[in-house]
Amino acid sequence: MKALFAVLGMVTLIPAFGQEGPVKIGIVDADIVIQESIKGKRFFQEFEQFGKQKSDEIQARVSEYSDKEKDYKNKVNSLSEDKRREMVVQLQNLEKDIKRMQEDAKQESDRRLNDALSKFRKELGPVIQAVAEEMKLDIIINHGPQSNLVYFNARVDITDAVIKKYDESAE
Q: Where are the domains of the chain?
A: 15-168
How buried is residue 159: exposed, middle or buried, by Cβ count under 10 Å (0-12/13-18/19+)? buried
Superfamily classification of domain 15-168:
Skp domain (3.30.910.20)
Model pLDDT, residue 5? 34
Rounded Cα distance between 92 and 52, Å, is 25
What gap in Å lies between CA 163 and CA 29, rounded to an integer? 10
Q: Under a CB-based contact definition with an 8 Å cutoff, are residues 87 and 67 in contact?
A: no
- pLDDT tens-place string over residues 75-122: 889 989 999 999 999 999 999 999 999 999 999 999 999 999 999 989
* Crossing angle for the helix pair 38-75 and 159-168, to the nearest 10 degrees: 90
HSE-up of 158 (CA within 13 Å, CB side)? 25
pTM of the model: 0.71
